[in-house]
Amino acid sequence: MKAWFDARPLAGSLIIWVADIVFVLGGAALLSVLFPAMPGYGRGLSQSLVLVLIGVLLIAALLTALGWWRRAGFVGPSEWRDLRVLWLPTLALLLPFVAGIQPLPANELLTLIVGYAATAFFEEAIYRGAIVGLLRPKGIWTAVLVSSLLFGLVHLSNIALRGNPGLIALQALGAATGGVGMAAIRVRTRTVWPGIGLHALHDLFFQMSRLPVPLVDAANSIILLLYAVYLLRPSVRARLEAELGEPATAGMGVTV
């Protein structure tokens, strides 16, 4: 199985992407039948929360079965690089609070922390982890752009959970553009862990903001997109390629 994915990284990435969509749509349909009163999305127990918690278990099982933990960027601090590049995305986390903080009830806050931590792990492990690692032999920008496009498109499946196609379309666009920046950070730091933390805090802080979420999300996505161009400028890409050489196979456990 690992050899098949190594020989067909683009096809393998598409299979993982399709599996994610099938999981969300099929899971939402099943939960609607089993628990018709459960909302698709919300700050309490919802279909989205149940699905993402199950998804964490499934992606962990997949990475274990394929031996992809290192390929997906789950490496120790001794292997992290260029952590200084985190300053801008960390600063951008404060954008939702420029108009103040909206306090939340303790029970809602706890649910959001759990849900967004699980979501960040699930999505980063798939898109900036497995897919970026799988596509890395095709080139840095190929891995970054394809993974980000798939990440944006998969958000369209949220229509099944939340309705409101217009809002979800904007969310998908923001996920794709912001995903370019997150993938660039993943490549520069050679680990997925900072991305998981940034992703979880990004989503949580939006819920605590007094500003319209689409407005802040658009600003954050544009910042990350432009930052990606800087992070992966030609001189840096040349250095990364020189340091890594030809990307090794997954079986050798080399992370990008």
User: Mean per-residue pLDDT for 105-115?
Assistant: 94
Bridge partners of 209? 101
**How many residues would you count in the chain?**
256
For residues 204 and 109, give the distance between their C-alpha atoms in angstroms, rounded to a whole number: 9
Q: Which pLDDT belongs to residue 245? A: 62
Q: Give the count of alpha carbons within 13 A of 80, CB side only.
A: 15
Work out the percent of the chain whose per-residue pLDDT is above 90: 81
Helix (H/G/I), strand (E/B), else coil: 101: strand
Q: With 50 as the cut, is the pLDDT of residue 254 above it? A: no
Q: Which pLDDT belongs to residue 241? A: 84
For residues 13 and 134, give the distance between their C-alpha atoms in angstroms, rounded to a whole number: 7
User: How buried is 157 (Cβ within 10 angstroms: 0-12 exposed, 13-18 middle, 19+ buried)?
Assistant: middle
- Sequential DSSP letters for 200-254: HHHHHHHHTBSS-HHHHHHHHHHHHHHHHHHHT-HHHHHHHHHHH-SPPPGGGT-
Helix then strand then coil, % of the chain, to nearest 5: 75, 0, 20
User: Mean per-residue pLDDT for 93-103?
Assistant: 94
When computed from its CA atoms, the radius of gyration of the chain, rounded to whole angstroms, is: 18
pLDDT band for 256, please (50, 70, 90 cuts): very low
